[in-house]
Amino acid sequence: MLMARIVFYDVNEHDKQQLEQAFVGSDHEVIMVTGGLTLDTLDTLAEVISVFVSSPVPAEIIEKADNLQHIACRSTGYDHIAIEAARERGISVSNVPAYGSHTVAEYAMSLLLLLSRKLDQAIESAHKGVTVRQDLQGFDLYGKTIGIIGAGRIGCTLARIANGFSMRVLAYDPFPAEHLAQENNFEYTSIEQLLAQSDVVSLHAPYTRENHHLLNAERLSMMKRGAVLINTARGELVDNRALIDAIESGHLYGAGFDVLEGEQLINTREELLMIRSEAADPEKLKHSLEVSVLKKLPNVAVTNHNAFNTREAIARINHQTAENIHNFFLQTPSNIVS
């Protein structure tokens, strides 16, 4: 096996230890970069680069990566990669398809429990030493209906968790499989029926061009009055402005989001960079305002792409990414998405 240059971006000390261990004994040159991938940090000599979802790989980076042969995503989603540009250059792309079905499903349920029992407000009131029971009144999950959009690994795992709360489970998926419905005790239905009947809607669909704003103003208006929306999938699945209107008007009880359209602007440093830019992107400015408003609305919980973040899931991501890279050089590619 010829020696290759492999550069990992967005790594912390824990990632570094696991990934370096995975290449012990190989002749590859392995380089770890703590920061993200940008035009300034791009290593143009690398045959392989590996990125997390926080580092977009646009066409302009792919064009300048003269030696690049493979992009190893340390994530299930790969919409942050310019797939067409990679395909035109003959650069393959791999992902990690099954690192965290339990991890993300548990997080989705955690967001729902936080909202249903107003846990954040209850903790804050206890810290202040002032408890107003009426303000902290929540609602039971028992007997409620949860609608899961996207009945893949994560969606099916959430269905089983919801079964444990004695919830009725509906699911919408463009590729229904009846054996999954039977194994996980849910019922397939149309997206319109799911929205109309569900007390809780949880998104677990991939982001594609066709899925952009899957939940727009029209579909949000179809949701049951007083329902809760949970999104641990991709921010672009939901129209931020329409969601704000639905919550502010009282049509929706609330929402729990680990992903948002324009989510990078949750980071204050990113907002500052945008403000200081001489030519700020109007779309980014709009998303920045939307994110700011959502964080201030009552019964809205916003976290910053943290659903994946457990010790076990990170270890699985790093292990599978290293295996994907090894297999690429062995000419037995695994988990190729392009």
pLDDT in tens, 7-19: 999 999 999 999 9
74, 153, 287, 305: the active-site residue: 305
Phi/psi region, residue 231 (left: phi>0; alpha: psi -120 to 50; beta: rest), is beta
CA distance 111 to 298: 14
CA distance 304 to 264: 8
**Residue 261 annotated as catalytic:** no
In the predicted model, is pLDDT for residue 267 greater than 80?
Answer: no
Residue by residue, DSSP assigns 324-336 as: HHHHHHTT---SB
Q: Which two tokens stand for residue 102?
A: 């339990």
Q: Are residues 95 and 115 in the same domain?
A: no
Q: Are residues 23 and 172 in the same domain?
A: no
Q: Are residues 124 and 59 in the same domain?
A: no
In the predicted model, is pLDDT for residue 333 greater than 70?
Answer: yes
**Secondary structure class of 7 (helix, strand, coil):** strand
Q: How many CB atoms neighbour CB 331 within 10 A?
A: 7
In the predicted model, is pLDDT for residue 263 greater than 80?
Answer: no
Residue 336 domain-assigned? no
**Secondary structure class of 266 (helix, strand, coil):** helix
**Residue 84 annotated as catalytic:** no
CA distance 44 to 174: 40
47, 261, 263, 290: the active-site residue: 263
CA distance 136 to 91: 53
Q: Are residues 105 and 245 in the same domain?
A: yes
**pLDDT tens digit string along 282-301?**
777 788 789 889 989 989 99
Q: Which two tokens stand for residue 207?
A: 């982001």
Residue 290 domain-assigned? yes
Residue 197 domain-assigned? yes
Residue 337 domain-assigned? no
CA distance 275 to 145: 43
Lowest mean pLDDT among 229-238, 249-258, 287-296, 321-330: 287-296
**Residue 153 annotated as catalytic:** no
Residue 186 domain-assigned? yes
Residue 335 domain-assigned? no
Number of domains making up the chain = 2
**Per-residue model confidence (pLDDT) at position 338:** 87
Question: Up-side HSE of residue 47: CA atoms within 13 Å toward CB?
Answer: 11
Q: Which two tokens stand for residue 99?
A: 């690192």
Cα distances (angstroms) measured from residue 234 to each of 157, 218, 261? 18, 19, 8
CA distance 301 to 230: 9
Q: Are residues 150 and 208 in the same domain?
A: yes
Taking the C-alpha atoms of 83, 85, 89 and 90 in order, what is their torsion angle to the nearest 10 degrees?
A: 20
Q: Are residues 134 and 156 in the same domain?
A: yes
Name the residue among 276, 220, 225, 267 with its Cα closest to residue 243: 220
**Per-residue model confidence (pLDDT) at position 53:** 87
Residue 191 domain-assigned? yes
CA distance 169 to 162: 7
Q: Are residues 260 and 317 in the same domain?
A: no
Q: Which two tokens stand for residue 237?
A: 């699945």
**Secondary structure class of 16 (helix, strand, coil):** helix
User: Please, what is the average pLDDT of the chain?
Assistant: 93
Q: Are residues 297 and 174 in the same domain?
A: yes
CA distance 337 to 93: 6
70, 80, 153, 234: the active-site residue: 234
Q: Are residues 227 and 289 in the same domain?
A: yes
Residue type, 230: I
Q: Are residues 72 and 214 in the same domain?
A: no
Tokens 């300048």 found at = 64
**Secondary structure class of 309 (helix, strand, coil):** coil
Residue 334 domain-assigned? no
C-beta of residue 275 within 8 angstroms of C-beta of residue 247:
no
Q: How confident is the model at residue 268 (pLDDT cuts 50, 70, 90)?
A: low
C-beta of residue 309 within 8 angstroms of C-beta of residue 260:
no
**Per-residue model confidence (pLDDT) at position 274:** 56
CA distance 249 to 298: 12
186: domain range?
101-302
CATH number of the CATH domain containing 163: 3.40.50.720
Q: Are residues 195 and 264 in the same domain?
A: yes
What does residue 252 show for φ and ψ, rounded to 5 degrees?
-105, 145
Name the residue among 304, 262, 257, 295 with its Cα closest to residue 280: 262
CA 2 to chain centre: 35
Q: Are residues 293 and 147 in the same domain?
A: yes
Q: How confident is the model at residue 133 (pLDDT cuts 50, 70, 90)?
A: confident
Q: How confident is the model at residue 46 (pLDDT cuts 50, 70, 90)?
A: very high
